[in-house]
Structure 1
Amino acid sequence: MAKIALITGATAGIGEACAHTFAREGYNLILTGRRMDRLERLADKLNEEYNVKVAVSSFDVRSREQVVSNLDTLPADWKQIDVLVNNAGLSQGLDPVQSGSYEDWDTMIDTNVKGLLYVTRVVSNWMIDNGTGHIINIGSIAGKEVYPNGNVYCATKHAVDALTKAMRIDMLKHGIRVTAVHPGAVETEFSEVRFKGDKERAKKVYDGFEPLVAQDIAETVWFAASRPAHVNINELTVMPTAQATATNIFKK
């Protein structure tokens, strides 16, 4: 029987790359995100390319009601989830705390922290009932250090780091593995979302060096997920060769 992975934020970037990677390895998939058209196109592509089953569910992880209602309505056989990839997350703005946007703060906290908690709350109970599972949280180098004007985004990713460690303890007696993957600079829609669609400004973030791409992180996630059942990768920090810290990047 094929294993099942649930991936949040699967419509682009790391989430989409994870979907391809797990499908390649024979997993059936539950893909979530806010853009149903993208989810449906991705599902069709994965089914055609890898011959796996794909269920899609469009909802906003910021809404507890949407998370619970959409996940609870999944058929019982789709609740036998082996791997949860908590990938949904974003950054909004790059401002000092004294001039930050309340709306941006709410969006980041509600998505990166509360959204992760809402999904985990539901799926972890299924894993406990099933007696197996692996929760993989996508963090960030921003969860290991802070950088200028990153204040609230860094705070949310520090929360992901702390929650991952706490989940590891809570899930220990249930035999459920918990991992955090903390990427450095990855060229995805991340900067474009941060800068509210300013593609030119987003592109400049990656000028002068070779950043990671989404597939690099997807392969790292798969590495953690594919270890033997008695092995838990607690956390992995993955950086471009040209990046030493959040702010130290060698650009040519």
Structure 2
Amino acid sequence: MMKPVALITGASSGFGEASARLLAPHYRLILAARRLERLTHLQEELQALTEVYPLELDVRHQADVSKAIDSLPDSFSAIDLLINNAGLALGLEGAWECDLEDWERMVDTNIKGVLYCTRAILPQMVERNCGYIINIGSIAGNWPYAGGNVYGATKAFIEQFSRNLRCDLAGKRIRVTTLKPGMAESEFSLVRFKGDEERAKKVYEGIEPLTPEDIAATILYLVSLPERINVNEIEVMPLCQSFGRTTITPVKE
């Protein structure tokens, strides 16, 4: 019996790369990302465990997403698991001084990329009456913080989009989960600070954040549950992270 097929976006690093490694014994993998050379290296690493199809793809472009999905080899064309992982945060400035191009890139990747991939793959899941979509959100979609303006808003969109998908798919054997990580050490801060390694490292000084492997383990747990179970949302924080008081700041005259 052939393994089911999983498509992971943003598979060249972080959560996506770790998920590919952990899911390899259980799925045939379509690994999608912009950096093809990284996907090729990962394919070589995992080829003893499973079949891997590297897919050079920028999820921001709808035509490219549709073309990529339509051109998949027959052995990979029926996708059982979609992990919408591609996403990023850019900048930490106040909303009045942010770079508009950063905002647009976050919207295009974090929102439109999820929409394009979901819309391209969902019809085949509905036709076969089976499938699982895991959308990677963030606690930033629930809990605001200074400088998280558009990033947090894009992740709030993911949560509500997933809920509405569940409503649309009522009565069908298709599961949808929003997985919302808290602070995790990956390329996230390096990307946010546009390659400033020193600034990125300071984010994690003296603490023990989540790792990409922690999120991959959570995904493996989700997909291993009986198909009668749908985990609507799951929020995961490192032990060092919790909730604080709401901010009280004197208003300048």
TM-score range, shorter chain: over 0.9
1:17-45 CA distance string (max 9 Å, x none): 01011103x21000000000001110111
Aligned residues of 1:147 and 1:247 also touching (Cα < 8 A): no
From 210, 213, 224, the equivalent of 2:211 is 213
Amino acid at match of 1:11: S
Aligned residues of 1:184 and 1:246 also touching (Cα < 8 A): no
State the partner residue of 1:37.
37
> For this pair of structures, how many residues does the alignment match?
245
State the partner residue of 1:14.
15
Find the residue that maps to 1:173 and give its secondary structure: coil
Q: Normalising by the residue count of structure 2, what TM-score does the alignment of the two structures yield? A: 0.94
State the partner residue of 1:185.
183
Using the alignment, how far apart are the partners of 2:43 and 2:188 within structure 1? Answer: 22
| Residue 144 of structure 1: how far off its partner (Å) | 1.1
Q: Normalising by the residue count of structure 1, what TM-score does the alignment of the two structures yield? A: 0.94
Mind listing any 5+ residue stretches in structure 1 that lack a counterpart?
none
Find the residue that maps to 1:85 and give its secondary structure: strand
Q: CA separation of 1:83/1:4 partners in 2, compared to 1, >3 Å: closer, same or farther?
A: same
Amino acid at match of 1:174: K
- Give the % identical residues: 47
Find the residue that maps to 2:161 and give its secondary structure: helix
Please tell me whether residue 164 in structure 1 is matched to residue 165 in structure 2: no
Poorly superposed stretches of 4+, deviation over 6 Å: none
Using the alignment, how far apart are the partners of 1:170 and 1:8 within structure 2? Answer: 23
Find the residue that maps to 1:98 and give its secondary structure: coil
1:49-96 CA distance string (max 9 Å, x none): x2x101111010001111111111012331221111000000011111
Pairwise CA RMSD of aligned residues?
1.3
Aligned residues of 1:86 and 1:135 also touching (Cα < 8 A): yes
Find the residue that maps to 2:176 and give its secondary structure: strand
1:123-134 matches, cutoff 5 A = 123-134=121-132
Please tell me whether residue 236 in structure 1 is matched to residue 215 in structure 2: no
Using the alignment, how far apart are the partners of 1:111 and 1:46 within structure 2? Answer: 27
Q: CA separation of 1:63/1:245 partners in 2, compared to 1, >3 Å: closer, same or farther?
A: farther
Q: Hey, which of these two has a bigger chunk of helix by percent?
A: 1
State the partner residue of 1:96.
94
Find the residue that maps to 1:5 and give its secondary structure: strand
Mind listing any 5+ residue stretches in structure 2 that lack a counterpart?
247-253
Q: CA separation of 1:202/1:232 partners in 2, compared to 1, >3 Å: closer, same or farther?
A: same
Which has the greater radius of gyration?
Answer: 2
